[in-house]
Structure 1
Amino acid sequence: MAFGLLGSLPSSSSTTITGGHCWNNKKYVDHSYARYYVTRCSWKKNGKSSMENNIIKTSLENNWTNHYYKGIEPKSTFDKYEKRPLINAVTTESYEPEPQAYNSKIIIESIIHGFDNFRKFSRFYAFMGLVAGSFFSSLLAVDNLSQLFPTFFNGYLQYIVPHFFMHLYIVGLNQLADLEIDKINKPYLPLASGEFSFTNGIITVASFLFLSFGSAWMIGSKPSLLSLLVTFVLMTAYSINLPFLRWKKSTTLTVMAHAIGMTTSFNIAAFMHMKTFVLKKATTYPRSLFLATVVMAIFFAVVAMAKDLPDIEGDKAAGIKTLAVRVGPKRVFWFCVSLLEIAYGAAILIGASSPFLWSKLFTVSAHAILALILWVRANSTDLSSNISLQSFYMFIFKLIYVENIVTLLVR
C-alpha cells in the first residue's frame, strides 16, 4: 500500500500534513512550541499495516525532536523507502514585498528614466554655453555693484528663460530632421532610440517654440525678441529639409548660421537686453564686448565644423557632404585648431592695445596660456577615434566657458 508525507509546505501560514489513504486527517499547531501533531489515521487493513504504523511513528518522533520531519515514500516494494528532507516546520510564513513599496519604487524609477531621456534630448552642454555667454555679456552692461541685486538677476532671468525654450526647440527640431542620421551617429538620443515617438517629438518641439516667443512677448524686451527671431530663422533653415533650406548640406551656410545666431544670442542681444531694457541706459559698446564678439564668432564657426567630425559615417549614409566628409577629418580638425589659435592671437592683440596695464597683462597672458593648452590638447587627440573627436568637440565648449570669464577683465 502506497504511503507518503508531502515533500514541501505551502508558503502560507497554514500547513497541511496528509497521509496516504487517511480518513479524517487533522493538524494541530502549538505556536509556543512550534510542534506539529498528526492524529492517528485509520488505514486499510492488509497484512502490512502494523509495519507501516511502526515506521511512521519512529520517523515522526525522530524528526520532531530536531524541529523538522522527513517524509517516507515507498518505492517498488513495501519494505524499501526513500527519505526526503522537508523544510523546517517552524517556518510557516513566506515574505512578500508590500505592494505600496513596490509601486513607489516603480514610480521613482520611471521619473528618473524620464529625466534622463529629457537630459539626452536637451543637449545641456550647448545650453550651458548659452548661459555662460549671456551671463557674462550681461555683466558687461553693469556699471556698479548696486545694480546686481535684484535688478540684474531678475533681468537676466527674463532673458534666459525664453532662450532656454528656444534652445529646446532648436535641438528638438534638429533631432527630428536628422532622425535617420542619428540612428547611426547618436543612437542613444530619445527620438533615435524610440523612447520618444516622432509625433510626440513634433508636439514637444512646437510647444517649446510657442513658449519661447510667448514668454518673450509677455516680458516685452525688444533685444530678446530680435535675438529669438534671428536664431529661429537661421537654425530652422539649417535643420529643416525643405526647398532652399536644409543649410546643413552647405558648409558655408552652416558656419554662417551658427556664427551669427550664437554671437547674437550669446553676446550682443544679452548685453543690449541688460543695458537698454533692464538698466534703462544709453547704448554703448565697450572694448570687452568687441573682443567677445570677434573671438566668439570664430569659436562658433569652429563649433559648426567640429561637430561634424564624429558624425562622418551617418552623414555619408544620408548623402550630406559636410566639409569633414569632403576633405577628411584630419584636415578639418587642424583647420579648426588653426582658427582657434587665430582667435587667441586676435584676443592677445586686442588686449595689448588696452590703456590699462593690469588689463593688458591679464588679457595677453591668459590667452597665451589658453592657446598653449589648446595646442597640447589637439596633439593628444586620436583622429581615428570618434570618441576622441567627440571629446575634443566638448573641450571647445570648455574653452568657450573660460573665454567668457576672461572677457570680463578686458578694458
Structure 2
Amino acid sequence: MCPFVTVHCGFRLIGCYHVSLRASQRKRIIQSQLSFVRSNSGGFSEKILFYHKLKTKGVASAVSEQQPVDPDPTSPQHSLPNAFYRFSRPHTVIGTTLSIVSVSLLAVQKLSDFSRLFFIGVFEAIVAAFFMNIYIVGLNQLSDIEINKVNKPYLPLASGEYSVKTGIIIVSLFAFMSFWLGWIVGSWPIFWALFISFLLETAYSINIPMLRWKRFALVAAMCILAVRAIIVQIAFYLHIQTFVYGRLAVFPKPVIFATGFMSFFSVVIALFKDIPDIVGDKIFGIQSFTVRLGQKRVFWICILLLEVANGVAILVGASSPSLWSRYITFYAEYLLIPLVR
C-alpha cells in the first residue's frame, strides 16, 4: 500500500491545515482548493467551514492512501511504460479480462468446443474491450484532473507527467482502435457492447451540460451496473454463442445467474471505489454515496451486499442438478484460502 504522510501546521484559511507532502504535490493541492473556493461565490462560508473541519484528518487521510509523486523526472517511476501502466488503471483491465473469460466459458458445452476458433474469439473480445477500457479510464482522468490532484496525485495527468493534449490523443486513439477492431471482427455482440459502453461511460465522465452523471450517486451506480453486470455478461456470451459457435441466442440458467451475481458485485464496485476519494469528492461537489452516508456506513453496506451475493451463489450451486457442480461450488471457498496473504 501507499506510505502515510505526516501532518504539520501551515496553510491558513480561517483555520489552518497543511499536509507535509513533497513540494510539487502540496502546491497542486493548495492551488486546486483555492481556485475552487474562489470560483464558487455561493456557500463560501460553508466551504471555509468544511476546510476548517478537514484541517488535518480529512486531507491527510485522503493523501495518505495515495502513492506520492516522484518529482525527479529521471526516476524510473516516471518512465513512459510506468506512466501508461498507471494511466491504464490495470485493476480495471484485469477485471474486464477475467469477466470476459469466465462468461465465454459459459458457452462451452463439450470439450471439442475448446477449439482454435474459441480462443481466437475470446482473444478478439479481450483486445477490443481492453482498447475501450483505456478510453474509459483515460476520459475519466481527463475529466477529473483537479479532483485527482487530491485523491490520486500519482496518476499521470494529475501529476503532470502527461499533458492534457497527450491524454486526449491516447483516449481518442484507443477509442478508434476499439471500434475498428470490433468492426473488422464482424461480431455484432462485440460492436454493440463497445458502442453502449462508450455512450454510458462518456456520459458518466465528460463534463458538459446534462452529462457528467458521476455527480449523481444513483445514476453513477446504474452506469457501472449496466456496463459491468449486463453488457459485459450478455454481449460477450452472445459473441461466443452466436458468432463463434453459430448457435441460437439462448440464455441458460448459468448466464442468468452470472448476470444477477455481477449486478450485486457491480453495485459494490460503484460504492467501494468512492470510499477513499471522499475528500476530493467533497471539495468538488461529487455527491457520491460515501459523501452522503459516510465511509463506514458505505463500507458495511458493501460487505452486506457481498455476503448476500455469495450466499445466493452457494444456494444456487447446492441446488444444481450436476453433482460435480454442487461439490465444487460448496467447497470453492477453500480454493481462496491459499490466496490470502
TM-score by length of 2: 0.73
CA contact (8 A) 2:241 2:249 kept: yes
The verdict on how the C-alpha distance between 1:143 and 1:168 changes in structure 2, with shifts beyond 3 A counting, is same
The one-character-per-residue Cα deviations of 1:252-280 (angstroms, maximum 9, x if unpaired) are 11111011101234321111101100111
Identify the residue that residue 315 of structure 1 maps to in structure 2: 281
The verdict on how the C-alpha distance between 1:150 and 1:331 changes in structure 2, with shifts beyond 3 A counting, is same
Identify the residue that residue 107 of structure 2 maps to in structure 1: 141
Q: 1 or 2 for the larger relative contact order (CA 8 Å, sep ≥6)?
A: 2
> Which one of 115, 135, 144 corresponds to residue 169 of structure 1?
135
1:144 Cα shift? 2.2
The verdict on how the C-alpha distance between 1:332 and 1:368 changes in structure 2, with shifts beyond 3 A counting, is farther
CA contact (8 A) 1:134 1:265 kept: no
1:111 Cα shift? 11
The verdict on how the C-alpha distance between 1:169 and 1:312 changes in structure 2, with shifts beyond 3 A counting, is same
> Which one of 241, 244, 269 corresponds to residue 275 of structure 1?
241
The verdict on how the C-alpha distance between 1:137 and 1:251 changes in structure 2, with shifts beyond 3 A counting, is same
Counterpart check, 1:196 vs 2:175: no
1:195 Cα shift? 0.5
1:368 Cα shift? 9.4
2-structure distance, mates of 1:309, 1:109: 30
Mark the runs of 5 or more structure 1 residues left unpaired by the alignment: 1-107, 378-394, 396-411
1:143 Cα shift? 2.1
Matches within 5 A, 1:199-278: 199-278=165-244
2-structure distance, mates of 1:332, 1:290: 27
1:358 Cα shift? 2.8
Counterpart check, 1:347 vs 2:328: no
Of structures 1 and 2, the larger Rg is shown by 1
- Identity percentage of aligned residues: 46
> Which one of 81, 89, 95 corresponds to residue 129 of structure 1?
95
The one-character-per-residue Cα deviations of 1:228-256 (angstroms, maximum 9, x if unpaired) are 11111111111111222111111111111
1-structure distance, mates of 2:226, 2:333: 23
CA contact (8 A) 2:206 2:212 kept: yes
2-structure distance, mates of 1:266, 1:132: 11
The count of aligned residue pairs is: 266
2-structure distance, mates of 1:219, 1:141: 19
Matches within 5 A, 1:12-411: 113-366=79-332
SS of equivalent residue, structure 1 residue 325: helix
Mark the runs of 5 or more structure 2 residues left unpaired by the alignment: 1-73
- Write the letter of the residue equivalent to 2:138: G
SS of equivalent residue, structure 1 residue 282: coil
SS of equivalent residue, structure 2 residue 153: coil
1:367 Cα shift? 5.9
2-structure distance, mates of 1:324, 1:111: 31
- Write the letter of the residue equivalent to 1:150: R
1:366 Cα shift? 2.8
- Write the letter of the residue equivalent to 2:233: N
CA contact (8 A) 1:354 1:360 kept: yes
2-structure distance, mates of 1:365, 1:347: 12
The verdict on how the C-alpha distance between 1:324 and 1:112 changes in structure 2, with shifts beyond 3 A counting, is closer
The verdict on how the C-alpha distance between 1:224 and 1:130 changes in structure 2, with shifts beyond 3 A counting, is same
- Write the letter of the residue equivalent to 1:285: F
1-structure distance, mates of 2:291, 2:163: 30
TM-score by length of 1: 0.61
2-structure distance, mates of 1:148, 1:364: 26
CA contact (8 A) 1:305 1:336 kept: yes
- Write the letter of the residue equivalent to 2:161: E
